Structure 1
Amino acid sequence: MEVKRRTAKALVGKLSSVSEQTRTESLCELRLISKNDPESRSLIAEAGAIPYLSEILYSPSAVAQENATATLLNISISTREPLMSTRGLLDALSHALRNPESASTAQSAAATVFSLLTVDSYRPIIGSKRDILYALIDMIRNSGSHPRSIKDALKALFGVSLYPLNRATVIELGAVPALFSLSIDGRVGVVEDASAVIAQIAGCEEAGDAFRKVSGIGVLVDLLDLSTGSSGRTKENAVSALLNMVQCGKKDVGEYVKEMASIVCNGILDVAENGSVKGKMKANQLLKLIDSSSGSSGFHEMQNLWAVLEATRRFDVSVI
């Protein structure tokens, strides 16, 4: 361990060199070590690397930016407090997100933000940085963004939205149209991640009007239609979004959501039967809300019909 500590200290010391080549070589080595040796990450932070790495994020050099953001990401996987306690670190990440010299820089910066957001207490702090949120939203709505950058930005927005008071800000900054556009994108992984963010931001009153403007409730209903072939995770996210809107939205929004959701009871029942533990729980909650709102036998008839259809599929009965 002592050898690793001395190596980290020596490499960090070179980051202040007047020689660009020396600094670049040190950066590349720090990135490699922090990637391959988890034990070294805290040692690199202890050696004082983070202020230097933060400053390098403002560099016009693509190589320098890439290696600095990648090293910060690697460090954040194992130790996050040194990053958050470094003055100006979030501003530097914001700059890297808004002015990346390469797609790799944007990806690593977004992934670093997401890594920091795994700590509950950091979510309100990062959520207060509107420039970071705007940069993440800009990444997901820019058709020229690298697919990996979009996924990393979606994960970061999901982390931000886990803190309830951040949801209205994400909506205010214009995320909703881009999120719904991606939710019907068709790319594996992107649809799931976009719908996961939608499910989170649906848990605030501001979601009602924002979703209506882009026919978002209709999109969520379509995702639950069994004929669309949505993945299990996407359907669970759609159920969660609709449930959150009923529970957190205005009364008229909740009633409209329940009316629309009743159209795809079979899709909700599918989640209630085949989803994850959490997915089943939310699907059953939504079904009960729809049932209590309908006050008719239509919902129960749909349940019975779905049971018959499932039995037919299970026994592979063919009609002659």
Structure 2
Amino acid sequence: MEVKLQTARTLVGRLRGAAAVRDPGATAAAVADIRRASKDDPDVRGPLADAGAVPFLASQLTSTSMSAEDAAAALLNISLSAREQVMSTPGILDALSAAIHSSSSSSPSSSFEDQPNHAAQHAAAAVASLLCVDAYRPIIGAKIPLLSALVTLLRPGSRSTTTRATKDALKALFGVALYPLNRPALVELGCARALFALVVADGRSGIVEDATAVVAQVAGCAESVAAFAAVAGVRILVDLVDGAAATGRARENAASALLNLVMAGGESAVEEVLAVGGAEEAVRELAEDQGASARGKAKAEALLRALEDGAAAGNRRRREHRFADFLDGLVLSDPYFSSPASAATHDG
């Protein structure tokens, strides 16, 4: 391991020296060498972090040269083996956020306008790697600019929206949404609209499955009921459960999303689902589909029970309201009930 550490120190020393004299060419070459080494030799990733590579790489993330892409890729590689060292670097999340934002919103006058910039893709993948650690999810979720940049990466029109970049952004958002308290922030940032736009309009391989997996997590907060309603999200999910043009995984994710929405949103969410024509039938078909996955069938069965319980509770509530209205009518119309004297008599 001493050899690996010496190699890492040499590579980082070259980068440190090039940065010190502000030599762009030498800096780019040093970053490229670190990227190559971290890709080819997993055993050198930890030593690179120990040797101080992460802060220097982070400083290159917003560079206009190719070193930004190489730096983001190197950080991704290092994070796979040394997440704690990467996460403990001051300003690392802000740097990753800036890389995603600057790459996904570059102006058309950029010299790279005809080429996708992979810095955002690698930075999003690095965030997803860090989110594998449960303890980092609330920390990353508190970085609103970072969440906003990831959501922006889902939208069309950016030169960073390659299939791989979209999938990496979805993977990162899935990790963020695994922590329940992060979900309202994602809803506030317009995540639901971006996700359902992908589900409806994107034909790239695996995107619908990944997007619905994120939808299923985001659905687990009360704020999603209104957000889903605003984009016909419940209708889209019911159509996926129906299965006419959906893969097995997409059907399973859609059922999971509806279940989480009903559990988090309560009676109002149940009403939203049942208001979609054929919703209950579609869910029952999935529950009884012998070709569906065991998980998909279990989600559908749980959703059916939740819908039935929610509908029953709603009916009870409506009966209680009608009875309360009836009593209110008696109080207003019967002088005995409405008389202060009768009340005093009863007190005695």
- TM tier, smaller: 0.7 to 0.9
Equivalent residue, structure 2, for 1:249? 265
In structure 2, do the counterparts of structure 1 residues 259 and 285 end up closer, same or farther at CA, with 3 Å as the change threshold?
Answer: farther
Note if 1:103 corresponds to 2:121.
no
Q: 5+ residue gaps in structure 1? A: 296-320
Q: What percent identity do the matched residue pairs reach?
A: 48
Equivalent residue, structure 2, for 1:120? 134
In structure 2, do the counterparts of structure 1 residues 267 and 9 end up closer, same or farther at CA, with 3 Å as the change threshold?
Answer: farther
Equivalent residue, structure 1, for 2:9? 9
Contact 2:96–2:123, Cα closer than 8 Å, also in 1: yes
Q: Considering only aligned residues, what root-mean-square deviation do their CA atoms show, in Å?
A: 1.8
Equivalent residue, structure 2, for 1:235? 251
User: What does the per-residue CA deviation read over 1:11-60, in whole Å, with 9 as the maximum and x for residues that have no partner?
Assistant: 10111222333322221111111111111100100111001111111322
1:96-245 aligned within 5 A? 96-100=99-103, 103-144=117-158, 145-184=161-200, 185-228=202-245, 230-245=246-261
| Pairing partner for 2:37 from 28, 33, 39 | 33
Alignment size in residue pairs = 292
In terms of Rg, which structure is larger? 2
Amino acid aligned to 2:10: A
CA distance in 2, matches of 1:235, 1:31: 39
CA distance in 1, matches of 2:283, 2:55: 54
Note if 1:20 corresponds to 2:24.
yes
1:293-308 aligned within 5 A? none
CA distance in 2, matches of 1:107, 1:175: 18
Equivalent residue, structure 1, for 2:49? 45
Contact 1:258–1:293, Cα closer than 8 Å, also in 2: no
Contact 2:283–2:300, Cα closer than 8 Å, also in 1: no
In structure 2, do the counterparts of structure 1 residues 27 and 214 end up closer, same or farther at CA, with 3 Å as the change threshold?
Answer: same
Contact 2:284–2:301, Cα closer than 8 Å, also in 1: no
Equivalent residue, structure 1, for 2:333? none
Instruction: Determine helix, strand or coil for the equivalent of 1:197.
Output: helix
User: What does the per-residue CA deviation read over 1:140-182, in whole Å, with 9 as the maximum and x for residues that have no partner?
Assistant: 1133322221111111111110000111100101111111111
In structure 2, do the counterparts of structure 1 residues 64 and 270 end up closer, same or farther at CA, with 3 Å as the change threshold?
Answer: farther
CA distance in 2, matches of 1:28, 1:216: 44
Contact 1:204–1:248, Cα closer than 8 Å, also in 2: yes
Instruction: Determine helix, strand or coil for the equivalent of 2:59.
Output: helix
Post-superposition shift, 1:275?
A: 4.0
Normalised by the length of structure 1, the TM-score is: 0.86
Equivalent residue, structure 2, for 1:283? 300
Moved more, 92-101 or 196-205: 92-101
Contact 1:157–1:197, Cα closer than 8 Å, also in 2: yes
Post-superposition shift, 1:78?
A: 1.3
Moved more, 204-213 or 51-60: 51-60
Contact 1:223–1:238, Cα closer than 8 Å, also in 2: yes
Note if 1:86 corresponds to 2:100.
no
Equivalent residue, structure 1, for 2:322? none
Instruction: Determine helix, strand or coil for the equivalent of 1:227.
Output: coil
CA distance in 2, matches of 1:109, 1:205: 30
Amino acid aligned to 1:123: R
Instruction: Determine helix, strand or coil for the equivalent of 1:56.
Output: coil
Amino acid aligned to 1:7: T
Equivalent residue, structure 2, for 1:73? 76
User: What does the per-residue CA deviation read over 1:107-150, in whole Å, with 9 as the maximum and x for residues that have no partner?
Assistant: 00000011111111101111111101111111111333222211
Note if 1:56 corresponds to 2:60.
yes
Instruction: Determine helix, strand or coil for the equivalent of 1:15.
Output: helix
Contact 2:219–2:258, Cα closer than 8 Å, also in 1: yes
Q: 5+ residue gaps in structure 2? A: 104-111, 313-348
Moved more, 118-127 or 278-287: 278-287
